[in-house]
Amino acid sequence: MTVELVVVPTAEEAAREAAQRLAQAAFAGSAIALAGGSTPRRAYELAAQIERDWSRASIWWGDERCVPPDDPRSNYLLVQEALLAGVDRPREVHRIPGELDPTAAADAYDRELDGAELDLVLLGLGPDGHTASLFPNAPTLDERFRRAVETEARLEPFVPRVTMTIPALASAADVLFLVTGAEKADAAGRAFAGAPDPATPASLVRSAEGKTAAVLDSAAAERI
């Protein structure tokens, strides 16, 4: 399962490359699953500048921390602040109800995802090789039927999470990783140049029938 590598010199250029792809998908009315964490914030800010009309898009989250939507740790809040506040609101915003208990939140999101067709999934990469909230050697990596499950975090913030499963992420026509920084170089080498390995969950996430790309800055691509 090949990955198209797009390596650019700086994190800002990586964010802009991802932003252009997000903006194009939004304008086309795509179903887009967004990533959390800190890396994509700049890409969301740029995407809002590139394309204001997100009205035809439907947006999802690849994962969410089980916290209320106004909690600083919320991936919904990240997207609201960096992207949604600056664009015409998407026709569908499928927020993961992080304020519920993890089981109820995962069940609700799993039901909501039933029948959904994802066009583009944006993913980050942790230094340990996790993506979304699919952590190394976790039992959630073996889930083949549900589209969303609850999981315990293995890194800050240590709150329960809800994550899309590998089959859900792989169902997207386009899987796009955005990875920057030298601290990701080892994980990126394992994720994009190594064999599929549950110790590096990102190495297991590829579009089943479409395309997978990874946009990286030079520092993150050092070991590929």
Q: Stretches 8-16, 43-51, 91-99, 125-133: which one binds ligand 6PG (CB under 6 A)?
A: 125-133
Residue 157: is the preceding peptide bond cis (ω within 30°)? yes
Out of 35, 105, 187, 221, the residue judged to bind ligand 6PG by CB under 6 A? 35
Minimum distance between the CB of residue 178 and ligand 6PG, rounded to whole angstroms? 8
CA torsion, ordered 79, 149, 18, 204, to nearest 10 deg: 160
> At 222, phi and psi to the nearest 5?
-55, -30
Minimum distance between the CB of residue 133 and ligand 6PG, rounded to whole angstroms? 6
Six token digits for residue 23:
């903006």
> At 47, phi and psi to the nearest 5?
-60, -40
Out of 31, 57, 121, 132, the residue judged to bind ligand 6PG by CB under 6 A? 132
Spatial strand order in the sheet of 211-217: 4-8, 211-217, 174-179, 120-123, 31-34, 58-61, 92-93
Minimum distance between the CB of residue 88 and ligand 6PG, rounded to whole angstroms? 25
Out of 10, 38, 55, 137, the residue judged to bind ligand 6PG by CB under 6 A? 38
Does 152 bind ligand 6PG (CB under 6 A)? Our answer is: no
Q: Which residues contribute to the site for ligand 6PG (CB under 6 A)?
A: 35-39, 62-63, 75, 124-126, 130-133
